[in-house]
Structure 1
Amino acid sequence: MKFENILEEINGFGPFQIVLLILLWTPRIVLPCHFLLNIFIAAEPPHHCDISTLDYEGLFDNLTKEQRLAVSIPARRDGSLKSCEMFAEPQFQLTDNTSNSAYLPTVPCQSGWVYDNSTFTSTLATEWDLVCERKSLTKTTGTIFFFGVMLGAIAFGYLCDKYGRKSTLLASYLMTIIFGFSSAFANSYILFAVLRFLTGFGLTGISINSAVLTIEWVDTGHRSLIGVMGSLAWSVGNMLLAGFAFLVTDWRSLIMTVTAPLGFAVMTWWWIPESARWLLANGKVKSAQFYLDRCATFNKRPKLSSKIKLDALSNIETQENQDKSYTYLDLFKTPKMRLLSLKTGIVWFGVALTYYGISLNISGFGLNMYLTHFIYAAIEVPAKLTIYCFLNIIGRRKCQAGTLLLTGICIAINIFLPKSLWHVRSIVAILGKGLSEASFTTVFLYTTELYPTVIRQNGMGYVSFISRLGVSIAPLILLLEDVWILLPQIIICCVAIISGLVSLLLKETMKARLPETIDDIEKPRKKDVCPHTVEASGVILESKSSTAETEDQNKK
């Protein structure tokens, strides 16, 4: 007796599942708004040294504003004022615009900075003067946030299995709302960084539970469809972020704006069902019966006629859970598993770093940041739909390697293209972003098919941790543009190409029999191709179809 058989009786893909997906779309839309929020709240607007307090005994009285700036602040070759320097003494000879200021003595800004507020009313940079020698602190907030996401994945992964999906989901909602809104009122950089860390920690619970709940209530045949529909919430939220940031130019208001939808999620939480699979696995048959009957009623199917099936299934599930004793250490105990873990770790690190390296560097091509972000988000939709078609045509390995290598090539092309060819750079950048999203979509499906069933969750947890490590490093790599403006792009390009080449060393899994035990990896059978469902002696042996249903859970 399988849980899938019960779902078939009550309709495993009906109005109940659609409503559940819709209700969980709201919190999943919030995820990219927070994950990529640093692009806008940490933006550094044009600025120059504040000279309003300088007077030099009335010598400025007869000068215009432009002349005061010209004699006080050195200019770049393009005529714009330097951001972090001012002349040690006023250079009045520069008022005629013919003198050379290249070799005149300068000092750091003495009285703060003046910011251009035409694009942003306020950002972290303008709030706490995180510019010049403190410039790195704006990118550091992104790294701190993703460290919270990384630790939250470990914590909520455990809590969700121990205390259930529904109760943990509510805790995640409340934690994100409390710390999200609190961060908007932070009065110091340190307090803000701590609150963003805790916000990231809470958001991970939403990503884990929302994805798991939608998948555990749908039948096997529709998991891929639900996975794609659910992952599209990320793309929609990503596009909405560009609109929110364009309309709300104050960083505090923007944080509250992208956090507010969780209020609706809290109000609709009471309708969200607990996972019947989890309830049965933990011996809570009555509660499972309640939610299954509720699903049957909503889908206009008859309620389950007997509890005998549930009791038997509960005993099987509980016994299976008791027999499992695998840990993360099993990923490295045997030679081929160790090699598999190493390869998949490199691929996941490359996929995550490439995706976020491109996403967080939307100004790197000199385009309008709002439009660029929107286009970057919109291209994810056709990218996701297209890659699902190719996965079943050319296979997982070629898709994984191809998307990563082509992403690296797109980045390399833009390194050499001059900024004057902005239209060509835009097309190449958008194509690279779409390919990076396609590689992220592929890696979820591919990895679940590579790891054996008995240790698949541990394997996904391991690569998820590695990917978040790559995400945390991405903002720091972008800081290297101060060393050499092309260095971040070169690093991201190399990582994409290396991880793409490593993925070629993995075996193809399209139409292959999924590994069930570690022995299937260490001692593979000669014939491993079989249909997903095989009927023998009246027993249905179902292989677990691998999908990208947990994409938002691990990304973002």
Structure 2
Amino acid sequence: VGRRPVLLFSVIFILIFGLTVALSVNVTMFSTLRFFEGFCLAGIVLSLYALRIELCPPGHRFMITMVASFIEMAGQFLMPGLAALCRDWQVLQAVICSVFWMLVHFPESLRWLMATQQFEASRELILQFTHKNRMNTESDIKGVVPELEKEITRRPKKVCIVKVVGTRNLWKNIVVLCVNSLTGYGIHHCFAKSMMGHEGKMAITHNFYADYYTMAGIALASCLAMCPVVGFLGRRGGLLLFMILTALASLLQLGLLNLIGKYSQLPDSGMSDSVKDKFSTAFSIVGMFSSHAVGSLSVFFCAEITPTVIRGGGLGLVLASAGFGRLTAPIMELHNQKGYFLHHVIFACCTLICIICILLLPESKNQNLPENIPDGEHYTRQPLLPHKKGEQPLLLTNSELKDYSGLHDSAAVSDGISENTTANGMKSM
């Protein structure tokens, strides 16, 4: 369908549902309209993320993504103040929804149009850009428009996300990132409940605004830490580091705190419940810090390694996995926190599995975006650490791979010659 049609559809209906929510007369009407509003919001997030990735050059993709994350964090910090100014939730709902109309001005992704062979729409979009920027068509894009006009007769070739099932490496990369996203967003709730007190016993504060700004501040610190870490270690190295931190915080919180709890019951141990609460709060903060980075990097990583023709589907799967991870929070609330420890243990085990699976992912730093499925298949795994000078790498890159297609033919010819030749080079009689 494209990025722009999905964006326009989502914006129109989120305005309809969002403004209608303010007129709700009962809980059933409110819940139903909020459900469809969230459905449209997911379409806006997906289409904007794909557009942002496809518009940026390779060296600026992560920087622009971090700028968008900082803008999102600014919105979280300003939201309580905006709510205080509006005073009424109906007014606040109308103010928030009124901002979405600005998104209708986004153009279609030229990269997606070219990748799906929609050359006529590509030519019109290029001419539109040149007209708005007051560029000279003959000198600035000489040869581009005539080449597109030659290919206009070709039929568009759109690819469904189901095609990824027949690939060798691409589907594995997407599945790994889906599991990473689910684990990162799912275990984030476990750490948040531990810090705020899953039974009201370990809450650091009872002030709503203090709790809200504490969690928003941890998310902001996580975004700030991702910038140098990913810039130095790359996408795969940064994701691996934050996943290791998440696993350590989870395992220490589950194991060490139980050990401290047993020793605190002894009369001569000198430990109290306050020591356990302080350790739990510290591990929860570290876990929330690292799990937020894991979830964000998983979505960004998937947007880079998924080909343009199916990038919307790949991003949709990872974002759906993130949503399923967030869904564990209300599930635990419905069960009155029963099974909370087992819930945390399952996600802790998932972090250990993810650490192993991350090593199988390719590195996409400073790489061009893959346009079609064969390009995505060429994203192979590289060594995590660069090989030393003069040392032969164990994993060759695509440019270093050699063609062995004639190997069997040459072997067959040599076998035929050896059958007619003796050991001293004379032909047999």
* Range class of TM-score, shorter chain: 0.5 to 0.7
Question: Match for residue 528 of structure 1?
Answer: 397
Q: For the residues of structure 2 that align with 1:402 and 1:522, how far apart are their CA atoms?
A: 20
* Residue 176 (structure 2) aligned to one of 311, 330, 343: 343
Secondary structure of residue in 1 paired with 2:233? coil
> How far did residue 187 of structure 1 move?
3.4
Question: Match for residue 96 of structure 2?
Answer: 261
Q: For the residues of structure 2 that align with 1:181 and 1:361, how far apart are their CA atoms?
A: 36
Question: Match for residue 46 of structure 2?
Answer: 208
Q: 2:245 touches 2:290 (CA, 8 Å); kept in 1?
A: yes
> How far did residue 359 of structure 1 move?
5.8
Matched, 1:446 2:301: yes
Q: 1:462 to 1:484 in 2, by over 3 A?
A: closer
> How far did residue 347 of structure 1 move?
2.0
Q: For the residues of structure 1 that align with 2:240 and 2:376, how far apart are their CA atoms?
A: 25
Q: 1:332 touches 1:341 (CA, 8 Å); kept in 2?
A: no
* Residue 463 (structure 1) aligned to one of 311, 314, 318: 318
Question: Match for residue 367 of structure 1?
Answer: 204
* Residue 493 (structure 1) aligned to one of 332, 345, 348: 348
Secondary structure of residue in 2 paired with 1:393? helix
Secondary structure of residue in 1 paired with 2:120? coil
Q: 1:184 to 1:317 in 2, by over 3 A?
A: farther
Matched, 1:311 2:141: no
> How far did residue 387 of structure 1 move?
2.0
Q: 1:259 to 1:362 in 2, by over 3 A?
A: farther
- Please give the root-mean-square deviation of Cα atoms over the aligned residues, in Å: 4.2
The correspondence of residues 367-516 of structure 1 with structure 2, limited to 5 A, is 367-368=204-205, 369-414=208-253, 416=257, 420-421=274-275, 425-448=280-303, 450-451=305-306, 456-484=311-339, 486-507=341-362, 516=374
Q: For the residues of structure 1 that align with 2:304 and 2:62, how far apart are their CA atoms?
A: 14
Q: For the residues of structure 2 that align with 1:362 and 1:244, how far apart are their CA atoms?
A: 27
Secondary structure of residue in 2 paired with 1:394? helix
Q: For the residues of structure 1 that align with 2:125 and 2:168, how far apart are their CA atoms?
A: 43
Q: 1:212 to 1:341 in 2, by over 3 A?
A: closer
> How far did residue 321 of structure 1 move?
7.9
Q: 1:222 to 1:311 in 2, by over 3 A?
A: same
Q: Which amino acid aligns with 1:367?
A: I
> How far did residue 199 of structure 1 move?
0.5
Q: For the residues of structure 2 that align with 1:222 and 1:382, how far apart are their CA atoms?
A: 21
Q: For the residues of structure 2 that align with 1:371 and 1:351, how far apart are their CA atoms?
A: 24
* Aligned residues between the structures: 359
Listed one character per residue, the Cα deviations across residues 322-369 of structure 1 (whole Å, up to 9, x for unaligned) are 355x43333222454454444333223212323455568873351334
The correspondence of residues 67-106 of structure 1 with structure 2, limited to 5 A, is none
The structure richer in helix per residue is 2
Q: 1:348 touches 1:466 (CA, 8 Å); kept in 2?
A: yes
Q: For the residues of structure 2 that align with 1:272 and 1:454, how far apart are their CA atoms?
A: 19
Q: Which amino acid aligns with 1:199?
A: E
Instruction: Give the TM-score normalised by the residue count of structure 1.
Output: 0.53
Q: 1:270 to 1:441 in 2, by over 3 A?
A: closer
Q: 2:222 touches 2:290 (CA, 8 Å); kept in 1?
A: yes
Secondary structure of residue in 2 paired with 1:322? coil
Question: Unpaired segments of 5 or more residues in structure 2?
Answer: 262-272, 383-393, 400-429
Q: 1:463 to 1:313 in 2, by over 3 A?
A: farther
Q: Which amino acid aligns with 1:349?
A: L
Listed one character per residue, the Cα deviations across residues 365-406 of structure 1 (whole Å, up to 9, x for unaligned) are 513342222122223333223223222433433422331232
> How far did residue 198 of structure 1 move?
0.4
Q: For the residues of structure 2 that align with 1:445 and 1:184, how far apart are their CA atoms?
A: 34
* Residue 66 (structure 2) aligned to one of 228, 236, 241: 228
Q: 2:192 touches 2:284 (CA, 8 Å); kept in 1?
A: no
Q: For the residues of structure 2 that align with 1:287 and 1:420, how far apart are their CA atoms?
A: 63
Instruction: Give the TM-score normalised by the residue count of structure 2.
Output: 0.67
Listed one character per residue, the Cα deviations across residues 499-535 of structure 1 (whole Å, up to 9, x for unaligned) are 33432444555578987446536999953177xxxxx
Matched, 1:293 2:143: no
Q: 2:360 touches 2:381 (CA, 8 Å); kept in 1?
A: no
Question: Match for residue 266 of structure 2?
Answer: none
Question: Unpaired segments of 5 or more residues in structure 1?
Answer: 1-157, 531-556
Question: Match for residue 21 of structure 2?
Answer: 183
Q: 1:238 to 1:259 in 2, by over 3 A?
A: farther
Question: Match for residue 322 of structure 1?
Answer: 156
Listed one character per residue, the Cα deviations across residues 46-76 of structure 1 (whole Å, up to 9, x for unaligned) are xxxxxxxxxxxxxxxxxxxxxxxxxxxxxxx
Q: Which amino acid aligns with 1:383?
A: S
Q: 2:11 touches 2:40 (CA, 8 Å); kept in 1?
A: yes
